[in-house]
Amino acid sequence: MKIYDWPTGPYPARVRIALAEKNLQSRVEFVTVNLWKGEHKKPDFLAKNYSGTLPVLELEDGTFIAECTAITEYLDALDGAPTLTGRTARDKGLIHMMSKRAELELLDAISVYFHHATPGLGPDVEIYQNAEWGLRQRDKALRGMRYFDAVLKTQPFVAGERFSMADITVIGGLIFAAIVKLSVPAECNALQAWYARMQERPSVKNQLSISASSESRRTD
Is the pLDDT at 215 greater than 60? The verdict is no
Q: What is the largest CA-CA distance in the chain?
A: 49
The alpha carbons of the chain give a radius of gyration, in whole angstroms, of 17
Cα torsion through 185, 190, 195, 196, rounded to 10:
110
CB 210 within 8 A of CB 144: no
Domain boundaries along the sequence of the chain: 2-77, 89-204
Q: Which CATH entry fits the domain spanning 2-77: 3.40.190.10, 3.40.1190.20, 3.30.465.10, 3.40.30.10?
A: 3.40.30.10
Model-level pTM?
Answer: 0.94
pLDDT attached to residue 210: 80
Average pLDDT of the residues in 93-102 = 98
The confidence band for 165, taking pLDDT boundaries of 50, 70 and 90, is: very high
CA–CA gap between residue 212 and residue 58 (Å, rounded):
26
The CATH number assigned to the domain with range 89-204 reads 1.20.1050.10
Q: Kindly give the interhelix angle for 165-179 and 108-117, rounded to the nearest 10 degrees.
A: 20
Q: Which helix (H) or strand (E) holds 3?
A: strand 2-5
Residues 174-214 have pLDDT tens digits of 999 999 999 999 999 999 999 999 999 999 999 998 876 65
Task: Using a pLDDT cut of 70, give the percent of the chain over it.
Answer: 95
DSSP code for 106 = I
> 29-79, pLDDT tens digit by residue?
999 999 999 999 999 999 999 999 999 999 999 999 999 999 999 999 999
Please answer whether residues 22 and 78 qualify as being in contact, where contact means their C-beta atoms are separated by less than 8 angstroms: yes
